Structure formats: C-alpha cells, structure tokens
Structure 1
Amino acid sequence: MTLNPSLPRSARAILPLLALPMLGACNLIVLDPAGDVARQQGNLVMMSTALMLLIIVPVMAATAVFAWRYRAGNKAATYKPDWDHSTQLELLIWAAPLMIIICLGALTWVGTHLLDPYRPLARTAPGKVVAATTAPMEVQVVALNWKWLFIYPELGVASVNELALPVDRPVQFRISSSSVMNSFYVPAMAGQIYAMPGMETKLHGVLNERGNFTGFSANYSGAGFSNMRFAVKSLDQAGFDAWAAGARGSSLSLDRAAYLKLEKPSVKAPVMRFASVERGLFDRIVNLCVEPGKMCMHDMMAIDAKGGMGRAGLYNVRQLEYDKARARGSNDQRTAATETKAYVAELCTNPDMLGKGVAAAMVRRVDLTPLIGAGLPRPRAGAANGPATAQINPVPLS
C-alpha cells in the first residue's frame, strides 16, 4: 500500500491501522473448525493461552510500572540499597506461577488423553454421545509422492486427492505412506498425524458442518510437497450417497498393477475415482509387498518370531536392505535399470531339516566368512589362515 507523502506523519501512521477490520474476513479454521475434535483442540489452545496470560500480563504491566516509578528523574522514589528480601514478594513470585503450572499441567494431561488420535470418539458433538452399536466409517489413507489416496473398504471405492465424508458420522483413518514420511492434516476436522512407510497410524475425527475444506501434508517430502493438497467434502447422507454412486460409476479400478502405476511420483495430480479396489490392498501397502511375489513384512516377522529359516537363513542378509534397492516411490529414474529384486520370493524346505531334529541341524558349524565382508579369510586359533567358524547353540522352539 502506497501512502500519500503529502499527508501528515501522524495520519500516515494511523492509516494502516484502519485496515485491521479487514482481517475480520480471514478464516481462522484452526480456532473455528467444523469438527468436534478440532474444536476441542482449539479450546485447549485458547484455555492454555489464557492461563499463561494470567502471569504474562501482570509481569509486563509490572515491568512498565517499575521502569516508570524508579526512573532516574523520579526523586521521590524510595531508595533502599540494602534491601534483599521480602517474604510477601517471594510468595507472590513463586506461588502464582506454580498454581498456573499446576492448572496448565492438569488441563493438558486430561486433554491429551481425551483427544488421543487412537482413541475412538465418545461423542460427535457436545451432548451427542456415540452409541456403542455405532461403527465408525473406515477410510484407509496412503501418502504418495505427491498425492493422497483414500480407500473406502465399506464402499469398495477409492479416490485420489478427494476425501468425501458424511456429516456427524465418526470416521476412523488408517494412515500409511508409500515411500517417505508425510503428515496427514485436515485442520477443520482434527489434528495432524504422521504417515510413515511400513507402519500404520490411526486418527479418529468427525465433521459437524457441511462444506468444502482443504487437507494437506504438514511434513516436507520433496519437490512436489507444496502441491500435496486434497479437497475435503463434508456432505449430508444424501450427498455422500450420490458421491459414492459417482465413484462406482467410474471406469477405473484399483488393483495391484494400477496402484504400482499410481505410486509413481507426480505433481498436481487431478482428482481420480476408482469403482473397485482389490481386497487387502492397503494391508499390502503397509507391509511393502504390493509387487507380485514379494514377501510381506508380517510374514518375515512371523518367520523371525519362530526362530528364522534355519541354517540357510544365517546367510540371508538381503532383508537388511529390504526395500532400499527397489527405490519404491522415488523419482530417481537412474535406479530403474540397475535395481535388483532384493527380497525373498518364496520359501523352500531346508533339506538339512528333513528327518532330523532342529537341534541336530543347529549345532553344525557354520562358515561366517560371508558375513565379515568381501569373502576375506579370518584367522582362527590354532590355524595360520582359515575360515572363521562358530558354534550355533541349539534353541528350543515352541
């Protein structure tokens, strides 16, 4: 804004203040959201701020009063150079902040537990209790580079960069990521929660007002991060049913092959809807086994929990780089020609186990040379040069 230089200096200083009422049109979505969970979080922020102002405002006022009262020009001020203690002042200085900290701590502790994102909603609005028989609608969320995928297992449909929800119905989000960490955030509905590859996080929320809102990633994830936004539609039941019917009328279907294409990085991806979704796709995404033939993480962990794959498993160090060589979700095309299938495709019966007890096979001496790097020989006691060996003690299996 350019001010007329011919105006008096005092007028030029006041004119910018006249523009402050225009800020009333700003949408303070965090403090005036459309969902009960976000509203409770906003109230928690306001109450915490008010409690802190109880000590901040008096301190700032006292600073100004002391600076004025004991200024150098005030000859009437009491001069006490030997003063060093006041019981009343000490009580005020320590008691007031202590009480505020106790109240703030109690408020935060209660609010943190009541607004736990993993905790199912007990109400959809003040005075509206969620019945025990009411099941929340499940939405599976996948953060891709650089777009969002929403799967509705209840409806059998999916969408990209568009989240439609019915008003006043509790929603349970199951959230994951395909490559790097992101943060799922719809300010009008609930707080943010991270989306991480190979992991699943949860968030419960509800929208109480119809309207169009915006969701985005609150965690930097690369070149297309600034455009990683999605539309949030809060609809009445009739509107939501119409949206679901429109999704079912799409010509697209989301199976594993389609997902692998969708997973490739793209910027400003348009809204897409899928009429059908392959069963169990989200669980495969979480377990990093969408590719055909790739072992899922939960299968690998189940094998490890039962003692591994025997002697042959000692050499299988590829799983330490489980998903690194695949460069899934990466925009680095240089790895496409050189990537290797660094995963276990299938399990074969260990011939050493056939007709023998587990303990008999586990006590065999195993050559550890491949594990010490480059196949170099390792000195052994009693030998000038020779392969390293180790005794594997039998481990009873349950």
Structure 2
Amino acid sequence: MQGVIVNRTLIRRSQKVAVALSITLLCGGCGILTSPDLNPKGPIAHAERQLLFDALSVMMIVIVPVFIMAALFTWRYRGSNAKARYTPKFDFYWPLEFLVWGAPLAIIVWLGVFHLWPGTHRLDPYKPLPSDVAPLQVEVVAQDWKWLFIYPEQDIAVVNELAFPVNTPLSLKITSDTVMNSLLIPSLGGQIYAMAGMQSRLHLLADEEGEYWGRNVQYSGKGFADQQFHAIAMSRDDFDAWVAKAKQSSGALDAAAYQALAKPSSKVPVTYYSGVEPDLFDSIIAKYAHGHDRLAAEAAEAGHEPAQP
C-alpha cells in the first residue's frame, strides 16, 4: 500500500514537472515572432520568407496527419478498449504503403524541382536588383574579428557599420583577409561567404528605414561571437550627412593604417576613415592570388587548363 502511495506521489510530481517544461518550451518559441528572419525589411528577405512559408505549408500535409493519427491510435488502441481489433500478424497493406511512401515523395519532388530550385535561382545573390536608382557600391572585407566596409565612390571606409539610403540597391563585393567568414543581414537577405583571395557578390535593398543586425555566421575563432555590425537604412539626406561625418574623421585608411587594423581584435567600436588607399580591396584579394598564379603557370607548362578560383 505504501508503494502505491509513493508511486502516485511521483506521478503527480512528474505531471507538474511535465506541465512546467511544456510551458517553458512554448514560451521559448515566442521570440520567433520578432525574429528578423520573419520580419523582412527588403524584397530579398520577403521572397526568402515566402519560400520558407510555402515549404512549411506543403510539409504540413504530412506532419499534421501524423500527429492527429498518433493521438487517435493512442486513444483507440488503449488497453481498456475491448472493441479495438487485435491483429498481431499484420505486416502489409498496399493503400497504406502507397500513402506512406507516395505522399512524402511527391512533396520532395514538388519542393525540389518545381518550387525551391527555381525559387532560389531567382534569388541569385550575384544578380543586380531591378531599380530606377543607381546602386550603392560597397567593398566588404572580413577580418579577425570585425567587418571593414569601403565606399569607393565616397572615398571613405567604416569599421562595423554599414550605412546606405533606403530604397537604394546595395551592391556588395565581399572578400576575407583571414579565414572563411559568412556575412548575414537577416532582415535584408541571405548569407554569403567571404573567402581569402576570392570575391563574392551580394545585392540587397531595404524598403524601410531602420537599424538592422548583421554578423558573421561562420565560426572563425575566439572572437567569432563578437563579430557583429550595424546595417543602417536611412534617408538620402541622412546618408549624405553620414558620409560628410565620416569625411571629417582625422584618419585615412592607408597601407599602414590597414595593417594595424588587420591585426586580430574583437569588440572593435565603429571607426571612420576619411580616405582610402587606392585599389585597397583589390590588393587584399591579390595577397592570396600567388598560389593560384603558380598553379596556373605549372598547368600551362604541362599543357593543361588551370583551375579557376
């Protein structure tokens, strides 16, 4: 009798713990409503969110019936239900096999061939965005553990702050002066890798003014967690004022200043440079090109086509 009482007490306590854990898990998902991935501020992010929602909607065709049937089967085949038919030798039923394998296969084919494949190719990050406004050109360099943004047309550079006019296409040329990084501004679009000796491209646009969060999402060492930056979409007048503010800074980003900046450091405050060494971005890429040049020369001597970076 005492054992029964103890078991009931444990069951009641377990139920309370289960309820508390369930509430905690449910509350843990509340933040998703304010996630930048689900609150896009530009056409690329809007299109990516729609791809996600479309894929989830189709997958619900399988997921929802599974949960419903799990509950129904648990209730119907409970131990106290004498009406449930007991068939221990059941092992095959054509209609059920067709449903279990056919429905997921059809969903995978539709998602892969007719939806996600063409959808993601329409969002090619290298493709310029259609607009009547000329794009703003920005050269991006990933460093340990900070981001350098060079504005060649404005002849300024900024550390850990990317400013641009709202409703103006943003054309980013991206490279790395260290290990591989990955740039992501979730409110505006998807991530793109930054690799030493190579140049990747990303085209974004913000249709609302605001300050958005950006960061490196590719682990790159001990300062990785702090490698973040501010992406600020502002009016054209505010952007012009921001450029003027940067030009008033005392330092220029010449070769010596860049070498000092490139040293590993984290939690670097926003820093403005009033001028930039000519062709600095190209020279950063060229630092790592000698290996490819050597391989290309060896391949040419051997009569083979060199591999492209």
- Which bin holds the TM-score, normalised by the shorter protein? 0.7 to 0.9
Preserved CA contact (<8 Å) 2:41 2:208: yes
- In the TM superposition, residue 41 of structure 1 has moved relative to its aligned partner by 1.0
Aligned to 1:61: 68
How far off its partner does 1:103 sit? 2.3
Once the two structures are aligned, what percentage of the paired residues are identical? Answer: 42
In the other structure, the counterpart of 1:108 is 116
In structure 1, the residue matched to 2:173 is 174
Kindly state the Cα deviation for residue 102 of structure 1 after the two structures are TM-superposed. Answer: 2.6
Asked if the contact 1:287/1:298 (under 8 Å) is kept, the reply is no
Distance in 2 (CA, whole Å) between partners of 1:93 and 1:140 is 51
Tell me the residue number matched to 1:378. none
SS of equivalent to 1:254: coil
State the partner residue of 1:94: 101
* Cα displacement (A) at 1:37: 0.7
The answer to whether the aligner puts 1:191 opposite 2:190 as a matched pair is yes
| Unmatched 5+ stretches in structure 2 | 1-11, 304-309
Q: How far apart are the structure 1 equivalents of 2:232 and 2:138?
A: 14
Q: Which residue of 1 aligns with 2:85?
A: 78
Shift of residue 93, structure 1, vs aligned partner: 2.6
Equivalent runs, 1:119-130 vs 2, <5 Å: 119-122=127-130, 130=131
Kept in 2: contact 1:139–1:152 (CA 8 A):
yes
- TM norm structure 1: 0.65
* Higher RCO, Cα 8 Å, sep 6+: 2
Q: What TM-score comes out, normalization by structure 2 length?
A: 0.82
Paired residue for 1:297?
290
How big is the shift at 1:168? 0.9
CA drift at 1:78: 2.9
Residue deviations 1:131-176 (CA, integer Å, cap 9, x gap): 4xx5322110001111110001121111011110110111111111
Query: 1:24 & 1:265 partners in 2: Cα distance?
Result: 33
Q: Which deviates further from its counterpart, 17-26 or 193-202?
A: 17-26
CA change 1:91–1:222 in 2 (3 A) is closer
| Aligned CA distance change for structure 1 residues 21 and 224 (closer, same or farther; 3 Å) | closer
* Maintained 8 Å contact 1:31/1:43: no
- Pairs within 5 Å for 1:1-398: 17=23, 20=27, 23=30, 27-80=34-87, 83-105=90-112, 106-122=114-130, 130-131=131-132, 134-288=133-287, 297=290, 300=293, 304=297, 307=300
* Paired amino acid for 2:181: N
* TM-aligned CA distance change 1:275 to 1:47, over 3 Å: same
| CA displacement 1:209-245 (0-9 Å, x = unmatched) | 1011121111111121111111111101111111011
Per-residue deviation, residues 279-302 of structure 1 (Å, max 9, x unmatched): 11100001117xxxxxx6399469
User: What is the letter of the counterpart of residue 233 of structure 1?
Assistant: I
* AA of the residue aligned to 2:242: W
Deviation at 1:94, TM superposition (A): 3.3
Q: Which has the higher helix share?
A: 2
Unaligned runs of 5+ in 1: 1-7, 123-129, 290-295, 309-392
Pairwise CA RMSD of aligned residues? 3.1
User: Helix, strand or coil: the match of 1:143?
Assistant: strand
The alignment of Structure 1 onto Structure 2 pairs a total of residues equal to 288
SS of the equivalent of 1:215 reads: strand
> Is the CA contact (8 Å cut-off) linking 1:149 and 1:159 kept in structure 2?
yes
- State whether residues 182 and 191 of structure 2, in contact with CA within 8 Å, keep that contact through their aligned partners in structure 1: yes
| Larger gyration radius, structure 1 or structure 2 | 1
